[in-house]
Amino acid sequence: MKLKLAEFAACLNIPLNTVERWVRQGKIPIRQSDNHCMFDEEVVGKWAQKHNISFTLSDHHKDETKEYEINALSSAMKIGGLHYDVPGDSVEEVLKNAVSLLPDMSEHDREILYITLIEREKLTSTGIGKGVAIPHPRSPLTGTDMKAFVSTCFLKNKVDFEAIDGKPVSVMFLLVCPSVKSHLYFLSRISFCLRDNSFITFLNNSPTPEMFYEKIEAFEKHLEKADK
């Protein structure tokens, strides 16, 4: 969700200068951009409860927290696109170059996304093994009108992500979502695909976009049948 910082302070019934100080000190789970802030309502609510602080959104603000529509994995992947021979010899380089390829994103938003991806890698590697990594921000990019997307990147050079199996990464699924719910949904879908070793072999052959999306849609049909 996105509010003016002054509006957010009013929701907490806390002076604006106090909230600004907490932001500078990293004591509050929000991201500031100029005079606005972006946050996850549930996360801030739990933080406020833990610190015995009242947190109340007005009815107007609650209308803005509608659930984001969750599209099919193949749709999210088409939004993010397929990118081949993404250059780089380090985690930082391939992430920087992958972010630069994302469509419909301002330079400011690209820089913020890159920083959040690096912060996440510092916590623990997103290299999940089998030569695959699923880089994603530490928390959803709330407060925007963006749809979730998965950018599939075939790397020009294999890169050491310090994955649990020690194998260098050759394929990245860059996952960016506006909500926790959509993040968990797409992460589970990607993980399901990756459990199939034949899919790993398929990825290693750098399939064409048509072949790739057909394969993903086939996985989705299988999941739909399993859910019924």
- Residue-level pLDDT at 42: 80
40 and 89 inside one domain: no
Q: What is the domain count for the chain?
A: 2
In this structure, the strands spanning 132-133 and 169-176 are parallel
Instruction: Looking at the structure, tell me whether residues 159 and 89 fall in a common domain.
Output: yes
pLDDT for the residue numbered 145: 60
User: What CATH number does residue 89 fall under?
Assistant: 3.40.930.10
What is the per-residue pLDDT for 19?
Answer: 87
Q: Which of 51, 61, 83, 136 is catalytic?
A: 136
| pTM > 0.75 | no
Answer yes or no: 136 catalytic. Answer: yes
90 and 25 in a common domain: no
Query: pLDDT above 70 covers what percent of the chain?
Result: 91
Residue 9 sits in the same domain as residue 90: no
Cα angle at 57 between 55 and 61, to 5 degrees? Answer: 155
Q: Cα(216)–Cα(121) distance, rounded to whole angstroms?
A: 26
For the chain, residues with pLDDT lower than 70 are 58-70, 142-145, 226-228
Measure the CA–CA gap between 29 and 14, rounded to whole angstroms: 15
Q: What is the CATH number of the domain that holds 36?
A: 1.10.10
Distance between CA 183 and CA 142 in Å, rounded?
Answer: 11
Instruction: Supply the pLDDT for residue 211.
Output: 97
**Whether residues 51 and 79 fall in one domain:** no
User: Residue 214's CB: how many other CB atoms inside 10 A?
Assistant: 12
**Domain of residue 13, residue span:** 2-63
129 lies in the same domain as 153: yes
pLDDT digits (tens, 9 = 90+) for 205-214: 999 999 999 9
Q: Do both 81 and 109 map to the same domain?
A: yes
